[in-house]
Structure 1
Amino acid sequence: MNRKLRLLLSVLGLACLTPQADAQLGSPLFSLKHDTICKESEFVPDSIVSNAQTYRWSFCTPLLGAIPQSNSLGTGTLQLNTNNNLTTVRSGEFFYSFTANNDGRVFRYQYEDGIEAHPIVTDFGHFQFSTPSTPSGTSVIETASGWHVFVIGRSTNGARLVRLDFANGLNYPMTGYHTYNVLTSLANPREIYTVVANDSVRAFTFDNNEMKRIDFSANLDTVTNIADFGTMGGVFDGVSGVAAVKEMDNFHFVVTNENSHKLTHITFGNSYLNLPFAIDLGSLSGDIDAPTGIAVVRSCNDYYGYVTNKDNAEWVVLHWPASIAGTPTATVYDLGANLLLPTALSNAVREDGAVYMHVVNSNNALTVIKYDNCTNASVGGSNLRVPPSVKYDQAGIYSVSLVVDEGLATERNYCLPINVVEYPSINLTTQDTLICSGDTINMHALTFGTDSIVWSPDYNINATQGNFVKVWPEYAQVYTVTFNFAENCIVKKEFNIKVDKVVADAGIDRIITDGSTSMIGGPNTTLRNDFTYQWTPNLFFESNPDTTIAWVRPAQNMTYYLTVTAPSGCRSIDSVLVRVPCEDIRLPNAFVASTQTFGLLNLQLTQINYFRIYDRWGQEVFSTTNPNTHWNGRNKKGVECALGAYVWEIDAYCKDSNERFRKTGSVTLLR
């Protein structure tokens, strides 16, 4: 432990013993730069082995000894028929399961939407009834020539073993099919598990309660030998599941026996080609009862096994502390309606640190079993060689584990404990804050015992170091403050500054002619349904003044203000100057008397000496001194005037400049 951090933690009363790696863990696959870190301090494993084909990291192990989450996918399009076999593997992005029905058809389940979702189902059929009509096991293995699915079982004329080939990958169509002649060497095989040993594929099965190893040629087309290991002391009786475990450099099987209600442990030593020996683990005080499958997973030093009991629909959790070479303890759980007389249990697979299995039920529904990763790590797991940086949000001792080449003969496991301790007390301003655009906010970060306090990014901030800063972001911004307590205690805190961006755009200043209308409001105003908009002063509007765009017809120079207000109270104000010079007399040159009147368009001519209209003979038909009075097309006696041209004359003054305008013109009367 870093001396400075040890001293700091000692002062705080947080120092604790550094855990040590267990000797069972084998040769190191990675290292940790520090065995003790602060809560929220990020780390990445070092010295990671580089010659592996696959990597599976776990940083926050699930509670594998507890009751799991379970969810029934129902029957749907799965086409299950009380299947007693189900094998799941991962290839590329997706998981795939293979199973064989009791009518001999072989199915592929492709989980493109995740291991918990309904899969895409492919029915490969029974290949003209050459598959076992009563299959008892499936096994999937990858070799240099591609993926291969083995199916074993019985038909009316004896034992059958077939192989489906997927040379291009499991997500592609099947590329080959092969039938083996095993009628004289096998009678009633149950279960199958394939391995690669000495560069050749071998398959283990249990035939009339005798364990046998089937050796294949290099091209997999022929069976070169079948090794019969016998009953191995009578420990097999209706084998219903096989789980393989590699501990250190030794290979093991844990087998369930449906008829005898017992577990069997088989040990091969450092090679599957060695002469195995078996141990009867018994029924574990009756907790193993008509088992139909088993899966085993490793959690750092410990092993956990899972067994489905058929008759009582029970979920049994096994626990081997420190090593698989012993008798496990058993705990029985009831999963309710999601476990109904189960007939098969798949092997366990991992995704993002969680452990998954599938159960086939007697009602042909498929149940997903999930042991979710703990939530104390920022990254639960990873399949990358170099995982993302990880941090923990709670103090405690955690296991960092790595499995390489999982499921292959070269599989190796390694884990190291990491001690996570509290960091010194930190006092911060509110970390999630809403400000208005253009505002400045003060932030502080107070603690003791740190070498430095650094703020980032360097954007609209008055300083990047120190306890107190001011920021004024224009848009939403996350600021990070980093406390460097020690090399293994670097803590980062984020300040999420949200900016209520409120912009008012009243438009550009303009000059309009006296009496004309103008549209005010610009394109940059923030548009949101929950914002309010208001123009002031409310004078000379020709439209609603509570919108972003409005029409005005001012009778004088006017400055209009647009106020935009957000629900948060943030507001923005912008103005537009509308100038209306009094420069000339404005009158229309024609009008329709039936629907219109004829008069001044100006709004600034407040004093009129006279406004007269004459017909073609010079007779006055209209006169007024009121700028708001218009001619309706009738003479002074109220009689409609004839169509044609009329002459007008006016003498008027502007109200602001007192400038005098005297002008004559003509207008055409229409009807």
Structure 2
Amino acid sequence: MLRDRDNVFCFTANNLDNSLSRLTFNSCTASSIPSSTLQTPPPITYTQPGLYNVYFVSDEGLPTMQVDCKQIRVLPQPIIEINNDTLICQRDTILLVANGPNLYSALWSPVHNTIPPFDTTSIRVHPQEDYRYNVHLEFTQGGGCAYDTSVLIRVSKVFADAGPDRFVADGAYTILGGPRMSMGQEYSYVWTPPTYLSSIVKPNPTSRPLDVMAYYVTVTNDSTGCFHSDSVWVRTECTEIHLPNAFNPVSDVAVNRNFGLLNNNVVKLEYFKIFNRWGQVVFETTDTGKKWDGTQNNIELPPDNYVWIIDGYCVNGKRIKKQGTVLLTR
């Protein structure tokens, strides 16, 4: 007869004849099975603590019949105090604690993303995915009862990706945000500062900066409260003249109603001229901030393609000459 933790096993064999050997229990037992006539009975468990008698009868019905009695002491199930299954934010650390009266030792497994040591009643873990941590507990009472349990740690993943640092030509725009940004209806976004941004609450706003800017984005999972932040540097370079290729003086969008420089770092103009298809000058200026509204002498000009030429200087002293066409629509 063998005992392994809370289970009782009996192995019997009658090699000399066909007599029956069996394992029986008294009527007051609380075991999981009342009796067995198998040569190798199944494991036996008890639902209540206490003292129990187990009777073993061999050669039943023969003059050689023998009865053996064993007493088994069943201890109360250990009282365990351990973390409930828990949700944490990615990159966070959580302390797992197993405790109970007369607890002698604890062994945690696996050791994935675990801060050693692993053979103590408490460990710190920092999983990057949902993970179940198992713990084997042994108690000193009654020769060492053992108990196995586990804790599931679920991880809320949030990733902010502001995109790589970049140079943007003066007057041009750039789209912020990188491919690893957490996307979905459960996420909210906040970009700071709002300067030169098309939106501060969209994952991929545009920026047309006047000078060097550092932008920060914070992404939050609104259902879990977990968040992550990232930053990006945007630097401007005055290397080119930038003008729109079309405009509409009656547009609902204010910035589309006039035609002029998009550059912020062109500080001087030798000339800025616009011609109709017959080569007549319909607009000219040396003011970097002045724009054409599609009129000549306060008379609206017809929709058409117009030719422009420009000669100016960047703040860094670089001279830029350029020409092109613009479409006037109404």
Shift in Å, 1:482: 1.7
For 1:575, what is the secondary structure of its paired residue? strand
- Residues 581-606 of structure 1 deviation map (CA, whole Å, 9 limit, x = unaligned): 22111235666778764322324435
Deviations 1:548-600 (A, max 9, x none): 33333333333322212234432111223333322111235666778764322
Match of 1:649 in 2: 310
Aligned residue number for residue 168 of structure 2? 512
Contact 1:605–1:652 under 8 Å retained in 2? yes
Structure 1 unmatched runs, 5+: 1-30, 38-42, 50-247, 250-298, 303-320, 323-373, 378-385, 401-415
Q: 1:207-222 maps to which residues of 2 (within 5 A)?
A: none
- 1:642–1:501: structure 2 CA closer, same or farther, 3 Å change rule? closer
Check the 8 A contact 2:105/2:121 in 1, yes or no: no
The normalised TM-score by structure 2 is: 0.66
Displacement after TM superposition at 1:48 (Å): 9.3
Return the match for 1:469 from 123, 127, 144: 123
Which of 105, 120, 130 does residue 452 from structure 1 map onto? 105
Counterpart of 1:579 in structure 2 is 235
Partner of 1:659: 317
2:293 maps to 1:632: yes
On the 8 A contact 1:533/1:563 being kept in 2, the answer is yes
Give, in whole Å, the separation in 2 of the partners of 1:387 and 1:611: 101
Deviations 1:257-288 (A, max 9, x none): xxxxxxxxxxxxxxxxxxxxxxxxxxxxxxxx
RMSD over equivalenced CA pairs, Å = 4.6
1:548 aligns with 2:206: no
Residue 559 of structure 1: which of 214, 233, 237 is its match? 214
Please state whether the residue corresponding to 2:113 is helix, strand or coil. coil
The separation in 2 between residues aligned to 1:650 and 1:393, in whole angstroms, is 95
Letter in 1 for 2:134: T
Is the alpha carbon distance of 1:587 and 1:482 closer, same or farther for their aligned partners in structure 2, counting shifts above 3 Å? same
CA, structure 1 residues 510+449, in 2 after alignment: closer, same or farther (shift >3 Å)? same
For 1:545, what is the secondary structure of its paired residue?
A: coil
Q: How does 1:236-635 map to 2 (within 5 A)?
A: 395=49, 420-422=74-76, 428=81, 430-446=83-99, 452-461=105-114, 462-485=116-139, 489-527=145-183, 529-542=185-198, 544-566=199-221, 567-588=223-244, 597-605=258-266, 608=269, 610-614=271-275, 620-635=281-296
Show CA shifts across 1:280-315 (max 9, x none): xxxxxxxxxxxxxxxxxxx9777xxxxxxxxxxxxx
* Equivalent AA in structure 1 for residue 301 of structure 2: E
Q: Give the Å deviation of 1:609.
A: 6.2
CA contact (8 A) 1:635 1:641 kept: no
**SS state of the match for residue 495, structure 1?**
strand
Unmatched tracts of structure 2, length 5 or more: 14-19, 33-39, 55-69, 252-256
Q: Cα offset for 1:394?
A: 6.4
Q: Distance in 2 between matches of 1:390 and 1:628?
A: 92
Alpha-carbon distance in structure 1 between the residues aligned to 2:278 and 2:204 = 49
- Cα gap change, 1:399 to 1:458, in 2 (>3 Å): farther
SS in 2 for 1:465: coil
How far 1:539 sits from its partner (Å)?
2.7
Tell me, in whole angstroms, the C-alpha distance in 1 between the residues paired with 2:208 and 2:43: 64
Given the superposition, is the C-alpha separation of residues 664 and 512 from structure 1 closer, same or farther in structure 2, using an over 3 Å criterion?
A: closer
Q: Which is bigger in relative contact order (C-alpha 8 A, separation at least 6)?
A: 1
Q: Deviations over 1:381-424 (max 9, x none)?
A: xxxxx999997786468999xxxxxxxxxxxxxxx997542256
1:635, CA displacement in angstroms?
2.2
Determine helix, strand or coil for the equivalent of 1:492. strand
Deviation at 1:512, TM superposition (A): 3.4
Query: How many angstroms apart in 1 are the aligned matches of 2:46 and 2:311?
Result: 88
After superposition, the C-alpha distances for 1:171-224 in whole angstroms (9 at most, x for unaligned) are xxxxxxxxxxxxxxxxxxxxxxxxxxxxxxxxxxxxxxxxxxxxxxxxxxxxxx
User: Cα distance 1:471–1:390, how it changes in 2: closer, same or farther (>3 A)?
Assistant: farther
Contact 2:9 2:42 in 1 (8 A): no
Distance 1:467 1:418, change over 3 A: same
Total equivalences in the alignment: 290
Give the SS at the match of 2:169.
coil
**CA deviations over 1:341-370 (Å, ceiling 9, x no partner):** xxxxxxxxxxxxxxxxxxxxxxxxxxxxxx
Report which of the two structures shows the higher radius of gyration computed on alpha carbons: 1
Matching residue's letter, 1:621: V
Alignment correspondent of 2:16: none
In 2, Cα distance between the equivalents of 1:459 and 1:495?
Answer: 14
Separation of aligned partners in 1, 2:179 and 2:157: 15
Distance change >3 Å, CA 423–CA 582, structure 1 → 2:
same
Match of 2:37 in 1: none
Counterpart contact for 1:504–1:572, Cα < 8 Å: yes
Aligned-partner SS, 1:532: strand
CA contact (8 A) 1:520 1:550 kept: yes
Matched AA of 1:663? K
Structure 2 residue aligned with 1:183: none
| TM-fit CA distance, 1:644 | 6.1
Give how far 1:648 is off. 2.3
2-side partners of 1:501 and 1:391: how far apart?
Answer: 43
The 3-state SS of whatever aligns with 1:580 is strand
- 1:489 shift after superposition: 1.2
For 2:118 and 2:164, locate their aligned partners in 1 and report how far apart those are by CA, in whole Å. 39
Deviation of 1:669 (Å)? 5.5
Deviation at 1:457, TM superposition (A): 1.0
